[in-house]
Amino acid sequence: MVDIEERPGSRVGGAPVRPVPPGLRPFWDKSVREFVQLDEQPVDPPVQERHRIYSLLLMSIILDRWNGNKYGEAGDYGQWRANQLLSASPKVYRGGTYQGHNIAALAVDAEGRVIDYDFNHNDVFDSSVEHAESRLVRRVFALNQVYDPWQLDEANARHGAGVPQRQERRMFATALTDRAESATPRSLERVSSGYATLLSDVTVYTSLESCAQCTGIMCLASVKEVVYLQPDDGQFLIGNIMRRATRAQSTSFTSPRPIAGDEIDFGYFHDLAAGNDDFSVRVVEEPFFTDGVKPVRTPSVTSYLCTDNAYRVYEKAAAQFSTLESLRYPDHRPDVASAMTNRQVLAMAKDFLLYVKTVKNRGTAHRV
């Protein structure tokens, strides 16, 4: 074991001592409570409204692709999924083959345009690391190399996709593409500053608080901020920790600012947190699933996200989004060239949901 000391170069018992990393020095003698407390500015009400639009869009996407069959479509999920039964005898649940957890992420560029989305695909790849945010970040990097927007082009329209024509976009607006003024589809101008700052104006929306892997990937990608719609106590506030530590150093990457749903007055944040807390207590006595051999009593948040309670929260959010027309700050727009107003964002978000429903997939099938 190597001791860690605040003074570089010191030795303990003749053994070398590793110096405290610069990002941790301001917090070295402070409590954990102080370390995880963010010192960010409150989110302004017009920006809160904008965040809520994208958050409702994300919950609507997840509801449309909902699959609660974590342990298969046959078996017994008890009262946890009673409303998702297709057949009572034998018990079969709707949703089909489970591809991954009901967790998704959405990326939005500096102008307010949706870049793309992705889901957790752990079961597709038999992997524990195919998380929504990490998959999405890799996807966005790829989309910058090949012009392949989610908006359907004229050829797709001629094939009867049935989705309204959308404004053509050269590429998503980020710190890099804002400087590539002469860039055109499939002929991206090479900018020497490269990929390190490519996503520095991108906001990621994720349905569940990010883990260490996803936080690290978004940090390396220089994502601006991440809005999460449900807390996950099992991730130990890693987003806050990374944000505090990377901001305290003068070099290298800065982790995205975590924005919890309660910071944008998003009521479903509390609904999901309360539902998960209740599930965690009751599942010990009321198994989430049994195949007749061994009951599953683990208080996993991914199991909660299969339940009728979670489904109802998402259903309520999707219903609100479908009827949302009136905005308190319809003309608000960020101080960015060509930025969309909140009114335009709402129209575009509804258009994007229509696209997702047309694709009928848990992620866009891009040609990359």
Distance CA 136, CA 148 (A): 15
Contacts of 198 (CB under 8 A, 6+ apart): 141, 144, 174, 175, 176, 221, 222
Cα 3 to Cα 18, 30, 127, 334, distances in angstroms: 6, 18, 35, 47
For residue 197, the model assigns a pLDDT of 78
For residue 293, the model assigns a pLDDT of 87
For residue 252, the model assigns a pLDDT of 74
First and final C-alpha spacing in the chain: 45
Distance CA 151, CA 157 (A): 10
Cβ-contact 340, 110 below 8 angstroms: no
Contacts of 311 (CB under 8 A, 6+ apart): 63, 66, 68, 83, 84
For residue 292, the model assigns a pLDDT of 83
For residue range 38-52, list pLDDT tens digits in order. 999 999 999 999 999
Cβ-contact 139, 218 below 8 angstroms: no
**87 - beta bridge partners?**
92
287 burial (CB, 10 Å; 0-12 / 13-18 / 19+) is middle
Distance CA 11, CA 14 (A): 6
For residue 196, the model assigns a pLDDT of 72
Cβ-contact 66, 102 below 8 angstroms: yes
For residue 332, the model assigns a pLDDT of 98
The 10 Å CB-count burial string (b at 16+, else e) for 345-364 is bbebbbbbbebbeebeebbb
For residue range 3-55, list pLDDT tens digits in order. 566 555 555 566 678 889 889 999 999 999 999 999 999 999 999 999 999 99
Contacts of 156 (CB under 8 A, 6+ apart): 163
For residue 325, the model assigns a pLDDT of 97
**15 - beta bridge partners?**
12
Among 317, 315, 305, which residue's Cα sits nearest to residue 132? 305
For residue 250, the model assigns a pLDDT of 72
pLDDT at residue 74 greater than cutoff 80: yes
For residue 363, the model assigns a pLDDT of 73
For residue range 103-162, list pLDDT tens digits in order. 999 999 999 999 999 999 888 887 888 999 999 999 898 877 665 666 654 444 444 444
Among 261, 259, 232, which residue's Cα sits nearest to residue 243? 259
SS3 204: strand
Mean pLDDT of all residues in 268-285: 98
Give the chain's mean pLDDT.
Answer: 85
For residue range 310-367, list pLDDT tens digits in order. 999 999 999 999 999 999 999 999 998 899 999 999 999 999 999 999 887 777 655 4
Distance CA 337, CA 333 (A): 10
Distance CA 3, CA 305 (A): 42
SS3 363: strand
Contacts of 305 (CB under 8 A, 6+ apart): 68, 101, 102, 103, 208
Q: Which phi and psi (to 5°) does residue 40 adopt?
A: -90, 160
pTM for the structure as a whole: 0.87
For residue 172, the model assigns a pLDDT of 59
Q: Which two tokens stand for residue 235?
A: 């991730």
Among 303, 319, 275, 347, which residue's Cα sits nearest to residue 60? 319
Contacts of 291 (CB under 8 A, 6+ apart): 71, 72, 75, 76
Strands 114-119 and 104-108: antiparallel
For residue range 277-318, list pLDDT tens digits in order. 999 999 999 999 998 888 999 999 999 999 999 999 999 999
Among 213, 47, 232, which residue's Cα sits nearest to residue 136? 213
pLDDT at residue 81 greater than cutoff 50: yes
For residue 165, the model assigns a pLDDT of 42
**pLDDT bracket for residue 181 (50, 70, 90):** very low
For residue 157, the model assigns a pLDDT of 45
pLDDT at residue 184 greater than cutoff 60: no
For residue range 199-251, list pLDDT tens digits in order. 999 999 999 999 999 999 999 999 999 999 999 999 999 999 999 999 998 76
